[in-house]
Amino acid sequence: MAKENNGKDKKKTLKQQQLESYTEENTGEFLTTNQGLKVNDDQNTLKAGERGPSLLEDFIMREKITHFDHERIPERIVHARGSAAHGVFKVYDNKLSKYTRANFLTNPSLETPVFVRFSTVAGSRGSSDLARDARGFAVKFYTEEGNFDLVGNNIPVFFIQDAIKFPDLIHAVKPEPHNEMPQAASAHDTFWDFISLMPESAHMIMWVMSDRAIPRSYRMIEGFGVHTFRLVNAKGVSTFVKFHWKPLLGVHAVAWDEAQKISGKDPDFHRRDLWEAIENGHFPEYELGVQLVAEEDEHKFEFDLLDPTKLIPEELVPVQKIGKLMLNRNPDNFFAETEQAAFHPGHIVPGIDFTSDPLLQGRLFSYTDTQLIRLGGPNFHEIPINRPVAPMHNNQRDGHMRQEVNRGRTSYQPNSLGGGCPFQAKMVEGGFSSHAEKIDAQKVRGRSKSFFDHFSQATLFYNSQSDAEKTHLEDALTFELGKVETVEIRKRMLGILTQIDTGLATKVADGLGLQVPARPEHPINHSIPADGHPNDYQPVKTKSSVATSAALSMANSPKDTIKSRKVAILTADGVNAAHVETMQKALEAAGAAADIIAPKLGIVEGKSGKEIPVKSSFLTAASVLYDAVYLPGGTTALAGNGDALHFLNEAYRHCKPIAADADASDVLRSTWFAEGETPGVFTGNDIKALAATFIEGMKQHRFWEREKMGKVPA
């Protein structure tokens, strides 16, 4: 595959240069202890005689084993499973300088190094990438004014409105405490018990039950900052902002049946996809977008900008694209970089500030706290991946694993012995100063009434989905609640669904063999505090001023490229080698990769005698690992090959584009879908024309309308 742009040849970013000073390579070197002592045998312990006991004196063995014993650190309590890459961010122009003094958002000549980590939320470090779950999208910008972390998700809203509920939410979704099952799955009683008692999660539930929760690739997800933040300009004027990432490849998902199968065939599917794309020069790209709301417009919406269970429909405030992120380098070492990266929504730079969103406020505490236990002490900012490229100088000292050797006598302020250094920076000198938000309030442990509409945007999301997306959402809810054993919880969830859409509730109830409960006149809220008056906490449904929003449906995502998609070419001896070559060339010219699959490894011999090297056999390949399938003519042998027929049937079931030479009909006749014309199945003997139609079909990603014809038993 052609390398479009080799990140390694480009000028090294400041961060890359910094990281390189910490790298180590063994090539051509002697083996040493950690003290630099050359070792002449690290395969045999020092013993009292060849058959005698090992000696305590053996410092080489002790050092090797001691280090090994301490290799593991606690995994992240959430987002434990992740993959990351280095890249760069560049803003398009200086238009945002009206709103922010952040240099990296206003200076188009700056290329800011970034490190981006994608993750699932609930599963452990070794769990499958394809779990039904939200995805983390955490970006660390190493700006010249300090690190800015945009620690977002691929879903623009969250389950809860207040950080104090986060431990409850996570305890409910994680494997159940008595038997530690199920791994990386929300389809179990404790999760739905919690959710069915938590009406504020209704909107988020629509998103995590949608196909957004089973992405095709990390390169094909959106990202959202979720909370409303502030941009602050040089005059101190603040503007509310929501951050968005939009992938250039569009937003695409897999089918749920496929996701479950990928989890077995290749649990590293997303990790591998990201790694390979970058190695092959298909650098993932995302545009950064902002929705801006003037301070004086804070209360003009039917929802509260501080409520993290709400989004701002793009129909009300358009997303302005302001810059582009490109991921162009894989990490050198997973542990040193991906695992030790410490993100924090509280890492901000001048020109960006927080709002009082109660979820964000709690996060500002949690992220440093969690690193103290996970990375082992207060000096985690000195780990190479976490170091800013901006200089660090302060009076913080000592602690476990301190790296910096601070010179001088003074580590306090004010001082005269150290010349008053380090100096505090005025705003004009780049000093950060918190936005002077006026607050005049009484202390209360409670919530604003403006947070009480839990259902309108859940309905907006549902109404904005395509027919296929609606069906997938209904199926997902039926699946998840079907795994719940406590019937009362299923019923309570149906009660919540009636408040979102009675049609949806009816379909799910039908699948569960239950009656749809009557839609309550007043929406229920089971989470009323013991000392609260029930009416004080009743959810209210406000009429949304937007009926449907195009941006909420993946069906409206750009579908104009097949770059980096994977195509399986099914072959057997006697195959039409000329057609294989033409198809392969056409696909590669469009940026896709085409793999030759055959009954066994080695080579297949074309009818012309041409030998074609085989990439995978049916034993190691699987249709779920590909985006599309091509079946050339001359493959009659596959008509009697169960693995090949399963491959085709399964690709058909998952609504993938399939191209076949007209004279491959002997094989097609043996598949489930042989009869008649169906969407996304392309046949013909003019190979160039077939390749062109196939490529156009692949741009559509999936032909979901096929599902209406019934499921293929594959």
Among 131, 220, 241, 359, binds ligand HDE (CB under 6 A): 359
CB of 341 to ligand HDE, least distance (A): 6
Distances (CA, A) of 440 to 279, 359, 428, 437: 54, 20, 29, 10
Query: What is the number of the residue whose Cβ is closest to ligand HDE?
Result: 136
Sequential DSSP letters for 399-465? -TT------SS--SSS-STTTTPSPPPPGGGT--------------SS--GGG---SHHHHHHHHTS
Of 204 and 621, nearer to ligand HDE (C-beta) is: 204
153 as an active site residue: the answer is yes
The yes or no reply on residue 77 touching ligand HDE (CB under 6 A) is yes
CA separation for the pair 361, 607 (Å, rounded): 68
CA pair distance 238, 437, nearest whole angstrom? 9
Taking the complex as a whole, how short is the minimal distance between the CB of residue 362 and ligand HDE, in angstroms? 4
Q: Does residue 343 belong to the site contacting ligand HDE (CB under 6 A)?
A: yes
Q: Per the residue annotation, which of 103, 147, 153, 328 is the catalytic one?
A: 153
Kindly state the smallest distance separating residue 366's Cβ from ligand HDE, in Å: 4
Q: How many residues bind ligand HDE (CB under 6 A)?
A: 25
Q: Of 385 and 631, which has the nearer Cβ to ligand HDE? A: 385
CA distance 79 to 125: 8
CA distance linking residue 369 with residue 357, whole number of Å: 19
Instruction: Identify which of residues 191 and 652 has a Cβ nearer to ligand HDE in the complex.
Output: 191
CA 382, CA 378: separation in Å to the nearest integer? 9
CB of 309 to ligand HDE, least distance (A): 10
Query: Considering beta carbons, is residue 362 or 679 the nearer one to ligand HDE?
Result: 362
Interface mask toward ligand HDE for 303-342; x: CB under 6 A: --------------------------------------xx
- Does residue 363 bind ligand HDE (CB under 6 A)? yes
For residue 280, indicate whether it is catalytic.
no
User: How many CB atoms are located within 10 Å of the residue 254 CB?
Assistant: 23
In the sheet where 658-661 sits, what is the strand order? 616-617, 593-598, 566-570, 628-631, 658-661, 681-684
Is 652 among the annotated ligand-binding positions? no
Asked if 127 is part of the footprint of ligand HDE (rule: CB under 6 A), the reply reads no
What distance in Å separates the CA atoms of residue 312 and residue 304, rounded to the nearest whole number? 10
AA identity, residue 247: P
Select from 705, 703, 697 the least CA-distant residue to 659: 697
Among 7, 146, 152, 539, binds ligand HDE (CB under 6 A): 152
The encoded tokens of residue 195 equal: 């959710």
Is 81 annotated as belonging to a binding site?
Answer: no
* 626 labelled ligand-binding: no
Q: Stretches 92-100, 358-366, 560-568, 606-614: which one binds ligand HDE (CB under 6 A)?
A: 358-366
Joined tokens for residue 544: 């949304």
- Residue 166 labelled as part of a binding site: yes
What is the C-alpha to C-alpha distance for residues 289 and 224, in angstroms, rounded to an integer? 9
Q: Is 706 annotated as a binding residue?
A: no
Q: Which is nearer to ligand HDE, 352 or 359 (CB)?
A: 359
- End-to-end Cα distance, the chain: 32
* Distance of alpha carbon 106 from alpha carbon 97, whole angstroms: 5
Which member of 13, 19, 60, 79 binds ligand HDE (CB under 6 A)? 79
Task: Considering only the stretches 4-12, 359-367, 608-616, 652-660, report the one whose residues sit in contact with ligand HDE under the rule CB under 6 A.
Answer: 359-367
| Closest-CA residue to 135 (of 199, 224, 263, 249) | 224
For position 119 contacting ligand HDE by CB under 6 A, the verdict is yes
Q: Closest CB to ligand HDE among 152 and 267? A: 152
Q: Give the span between the Cα atoms of 124 and 425, in whole angstroms.
A: 43
Instruction: List b or e across 116-154, with b for residues whose CB sees 16 or more CB atoms inside 10 angstroms.
Output: bbbbbbbbeeebbbbbbbbbbbbbbbbbbbbbbbbbbbb
Distance CA 422, CA 419 (A): 8
Q: Considering the complex, state which of residue 162 and residue 588 has its C-beta at the smaller distance from ligand HDE.
A: 162
> Which segment (257-265, 355-363, 550-558, 582-590) binds ligand HDE by CB under 6 A?
355-363
**Which residue from 7, 113, 123, 136 is in contact with ligand HDE, where contact means CB under 6 A?**
136
In degrees to the nearest 10, what's the CA dihedral of 598, 600, 604, 607? -70
Cα separation, 252 vs 627, in Å, equals: 11
Q: Name the segment binding ligand HDE (CB under 6 A); options: 151-159, 189-197, 275-283, 452-460.
A: 151-159
- Closest to ligand HDE by CB, 85 vs 554, is 85
Q: Please, what is the angle between helix 487-500 and helix 456-463, to 10°? A: 80
CB atoms within 10 A of CB 225: 22
Q: Which is nearer to ligand HDE, 166 or 647 (CB)?
A: 166
> Residue 49 CB, nearest distance to ligand HDE (Å)?
50
Residue 158 as a binder of ligand HDE (CB under 6 A): the answer is yes
- Binds ligand HDE (CB under 6 A): choice among 96, 105, 138, 184: 138
Q: Is 142 annotated as a binding residue?
A: no
Q: By CB under 6 A, what part of segment 222-241 binds ligand HDE?
A: 226
Binding site, residues? 76, 117, 166, 363, 367, 374
Residues in contact with ligand HDE by CB under 6 A are 76-79, 82, 117, 119, 136, 138, 151-153, 158, 163, 166, 226, 341-343, 359, 362-363, 366-367, 370
Q: Which residues are catalytic?
A: 79, 153
